[in-house]
Amino acid sequence: METLPLNEIQAAFEAETAIKDSISQVSKDLERACKSIVAVLNKIHITTTQEVIDDACGKALAQFQDVKTHLGRLAAIVPANMYFRYSGLYYFPIQQAVSLAAFVIYLKHERLISVEELEGILGLQLALGKEIHEFHLNLEDFVSGILSLPAELSRLAVNSVTRGDYSRPLRISKFASEMYSSMQMLNFKNDALRRKFDSVKYDIKKIEEVVYDLSIRGLNKP
């Protein structure tokens, strides 16, 4: 069996290392961009008025341009047909970006984000039932990001009551319950997704406890 010369092995190793280093750097930039969006959206937990929410959503969507830029940089670095080979370096910030985009759309419209909206915000095509060779949004990362939404909504429900907004938790509870019921129709075989899905029921329980407390105090009336 013919073996490669040492100099070719060394060159291949250095090229592989260079690709991983470049991907890691862009992934860190993507994480920082997501953290900036988180900082903007945290304002809605302090003041839950619609004016503040609309302002935060507008600023967050503007900052998603940085997210889209970094995802474009990743697309230029990751070799064709090697998405999953390097996905361990960037799957987490991509999932976070999906979750943040879903949260913004919920805040604006109180509904779940559509695939078309998400693709527009991130600048990536979702691999939904088809094979995409170029850099894309993996279906598991999409679902994982969506499953992170109820945790943020449970926090919003609690803070809404603190700020005197008693109707929002009821709307959040209805949305989260419907979302959970829809997700139950999916067959989660992936261990990470299964654990994340199982945690959603605890987020919903927190929201339901908020609604129950409002109910026994007579504060959930229109």
User: pLDDT for 29-78, tens place per residue?
Assistant: 999 999 999 999 999 988 878 899 999 999 999 999 999 999 999 999 99
Local structure of 159: helix, strand or coil: helix
pLDDT band at 101 (very low <50, low <70, confident <90, very high): very high
Local structure of 137: helix, strand or coil: strand
In this model, does residue 87 exceed pLDDT 70? yes
CATH code for the structural domain at 6-216: 1.20.58.2140
Domain ranges of the chain: 6-216
Tokens 């998603």: give the residue. Answer: 64
pTM higher than 0.85 for the full model? yes
CB atoms closer than 10 angstroms to residue 152: 20
Distance CA 54, CA 61 (A): 11
Model confidence pLDDT, tens digit, residues 113-159: 999 999 999 999 998 766 666 789 999 999 999 999 999 999 999 99
